[in-house]
């Protein structure tokens, strides 16, 4: 099926905008369930008939950035995977890419993905916005076959996380809920690859949902914009219930989340290019360190297995930025962009396997 983006996209900062696909080809394996969008609220409307990227058009200049680097921490075998919003492939790279080498493999058949993630086994999770599905691929070592996929009735997925995507729960964040759910804001849903999903989690502070993280004990944290455009974090104990607003959350913008080996939450503040490290947030957050300035604007990023490296999907310069990570310090090391395009919107990146909490 070929998806067509709108002819004109409004460039609204701090908002989730419809993707202007410019008739870009995209082949999905699962059906799209788009419907007409309702009237705008606070200048922004849930985008059910379009495919929404968390990157506003006005904030993605097509300006190449000189790539440079220095030696950095190694990741375990399994590589780094990258998503582009307007690409129909996910790209697999070697575990270190200071030489800016091209992809070593691809995972085909994706449709307007936002973030991607990996689980403890290195499987790759694609919250696929265009097909309104969640796809799971074998990913450890090199690009593998599609393990399975399930149709996501709750809304357009923007992010997902799981310790074991083959047999365990997958927490799926939706930019906005589906029209059928009759909820104006975004949601988070616990699902399995078999397609069994719990009732979506909602909260008044979650109008436009961005990132989700789930601890090994099953607690969930969600970043979002509220109805007035303010960034929020919501804590769901056991990934159930009504959720509690996290206090002490300092981010100025929406962004992705990850959890390091000590249980600290790494939180990206996207459009001001900052990253914070928090502890707790259940619901009171304690600032561990930061903010640290990112090399370029990014919404999503993930840690490697040892939580010694942190990579961000730099949509501003169309590349992946890699940093040294400790809970007390984040330091830029190098970037790579071979095989990527700023015009395709570099949006997600994941080490395989993920950080071991």
Report pLDDT for 12: 24
Nearest to 176 by CA among 88, 117, 114: 114
Q: Which has the minimum average pLDDT: 49-58, 64-73, 116-125? A: 64-73
Question: Which token pair is 227?
Answer: 């109805």
% of the chain exceeding 90 in pLDDT: 69
Highest mean pLDDT among 24-33, 52-61, 233-242: 233-242
Report pLDDT for 244: 98
pLDDT digits (tens, 9 = 90+) for 65-115: 545 444 344 333 459 999 999 999 999 999 899 999 999 999 999 999 999
| Interatomic CA distance for residues 266 and 260, integer angstroms | 7
Ranges of each domain in the chain = 57-351
**What's the chain's average pLDDT?**
82
Lookup result for tokens 């409307």: 45
Are the beta carbons of 147 and 136 closer than 8 angstroms?
Answer: yes
Confidence of residue 139 (pLDDT cuts 50, 70, 90): confident
Are the beta carbons of 70 and 82 closer than 8 angstroms?
Answer: no
% of the chain exceeding 70 in pLDDT: 77
Lookup result for tokens 């206090």: 247
Report pLDDT for 41: 38
Report pLDDT for 34: 32
Task: Please provide the distance, in angstroms rounded to a whole number, between the alpha carbons at the two ends of the chain.
Answer: 39
Query: Class of 57-351 per CATH?
Result: mainly beta
- Of 260 and 130, the structure prediction assigns the larger pLDDT to 260
Residue 336 clears pLDDT 50, i.e. is over it: yes
Residue 285 clears pLDDT 60, i.e. is over it: yes
Residue 39 clears pLDDT 50, i.e. is over it: no
Residue 159 clears pLDDT 80, i.e. is over it: yes
| Interatomic CA distance for residues 269 and 114, integer angstroms | 16
């Amino acid at each position: 099926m070929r998806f067509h983006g709108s002819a004109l996209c409004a460039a609204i900062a701090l908002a989730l905008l419809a993707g202007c696909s410019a008739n870009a080809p995209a082949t999905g394996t699962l059906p799209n369930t788009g419907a007409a969008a309702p009237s705008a609220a606070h200048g922004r409307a849930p985008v059910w008939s379009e495919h929404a990227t968390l990157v506003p058009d006005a904030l993605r200049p097509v300006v190449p950035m000189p790539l440079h680097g220095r030696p950095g921490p190694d990741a375990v075998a399994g590589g780094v995977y990258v998503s582009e919003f307007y690409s129909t492939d996910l790209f697999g790279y070697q575990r270190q890419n200071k030489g800016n080498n091209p992809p070593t493999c691809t995972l085909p058949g994706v449709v307007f993905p936002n973030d991607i993630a990996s689980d403890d086994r290195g499987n790759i999770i694609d919250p696929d916005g265009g097909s309104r599905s969640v796809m799971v691929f074998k990913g450890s070592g090199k690009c593998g076959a599609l393990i399975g996929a399930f149709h996501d009735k709750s809304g357009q997925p923007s992010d997902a996380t799981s310790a074991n995507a083959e047999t365990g729960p997958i927490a799926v964040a939706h930019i906005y809920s589906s029209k059928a759910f009759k909820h104006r804001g975004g949601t988070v849903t616990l699902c399995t690859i078999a397609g069994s999903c719990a009732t979506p989690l909602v909260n008044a502070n979650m109008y436009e949902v961005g990132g989700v993280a789930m601890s090994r004990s099953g607690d969930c944290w969600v970043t979002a914009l509220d109805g007035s455009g303010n960034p929020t974090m919501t804590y769901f104990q056991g990934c159930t219930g009504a959720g509690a607003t996290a206090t002490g959350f300092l981010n100025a913008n929406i962004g992705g989340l990850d959890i390091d080996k000590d249980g600290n939450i790494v939180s990206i503040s996207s459009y001001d290019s900052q990253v914070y490290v928090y502890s707790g947030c259940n619901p009171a957050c304690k600032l561990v360190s930061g903010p640290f300035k990112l090399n370029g604007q990014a919404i999503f990023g993930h840690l490697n297995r040892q939580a010694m490296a942190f990579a961000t999907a730099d949509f501003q310069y169309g590349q992946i930025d890699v940093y040294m990570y400790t809970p007390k310090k984040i330091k830029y090391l190098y970037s790579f962009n071979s095989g990527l395009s700023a015009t395709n919107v570099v949006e997600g990146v994941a080490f395989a396997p993920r950080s071991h909490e």
